[in-house]
Structures are given as structure tokens and as C-alpha cells.
Amino acid sequence: MTQEPKRINHLGIAVKSLEEGLAVWRDGLGLKVAKYVEMPEKGLKIAVLPCGETMIELLAPLGDNSEIQAFLDKRGGGLHHVCLEVADIVQATAHASAHGLALLGQAPTIGAEGLPVRFAHPKSTAGALVEWLETAPRDDGARD
């Protein structure tokens, strides 16, 4: 049985600097920052701003080795990805793969939320980078 995504968990917005992004999303649009996360292994500084049940995730480079630097160089910033919340990331990504979506990486990794994530390449998803985020533990306790 195919499981549907629960909701859009967050929208990832690439920004050249958190200060630039916060000037818009916090100061201009009135959202409050819930937390900041640094992921040195991915070269990211992140600000999380809730908006109802969905969050805005501002992604800024943390040095020259940032995963989003090429995106910023090419586009200058903007919508980076859409994150779908699922109960079982293995099932959700297997279903997507079976329907021709090109998954990135060999298996889920741990994302900024401390939970398993996996991405699909935008060339296979009508131009949008899609992220799955598993928010419910699997019955067998596995996370692979």
C-alpha cells in the first residue's frame, strides 16, 4: 500500500546570508525564528521560521564548501526545495523510485531536524528538488 505524504513540512529557501534572508522573512513578513542550526558537514547555516503548520527554512552557506553554493551561484537564491513529511521514508522513496524519480544518495541521511531525509533530483520531478522527511519511527526501529 502506498502512503501519502502527511503535509509539506517546510520550504527551503537559499539565501546568500542569513541576515539577508531574515530581513525579508522575519523583519518584512513578520515570521519568528524558532531555531538556528549549523551543519558544518554540509556547509550550511539554517534559520527555521514556523508559518502555521509549515516552516520556512532559510539555507545560507557556511564557508566555501556549502552544498548550496552552486545553487546560489547559478540562481542567486530563491526556492531551493519542498520537503514532504512521511511516516516511512524507505517506503515513500521506493514508491517514488518505482515511478521514475531519480533519488539522490544511496540511502536516507540525517537532516537539520535530526531525522532521516532523502532527496529526488529536480530533473525527475518537473524541476523541483523534493525532500522527504521521516517523522514517525518505523516499527522495526530501522532507519536505513
Q: Kindly report the three-state secondary structure assignment for every residue of the chain.
A: CCCCCCEEEEEEEECCCHHHHHHHHHHHCCCCCCEEEEECCCCEEEEEEEECCEEEEEEEECCCCCCCHHHHHHHCCEEEEEEEEECCHHHHHHHHHHCCCCEEEEEEEECCCCCEEEEECHHHCCCCCEEEEECCCCCCCCCC
Identify the band that residue 2 occupies on the pLDDT scale cut at 50, 70 and 90: low
pTM (global) more than 0.85:
yes
CATH numbers and ranges of domains, the chain: 7-134 (3.10.180.10)
Q: Is the pLDDT of residue 30 over 50?
A: yes
Instruction: Kindly indicate the confidence band of residue 63, based on its pLDDT and cuts at 50, 70 and 90.
Output: confident
Quick: pLDDT tens for 76-114.
999 999 999 999 999 999 999 999 999 999 999 999 989
Q: Is residue 71 scored above 90 in pLDDT? A: yes
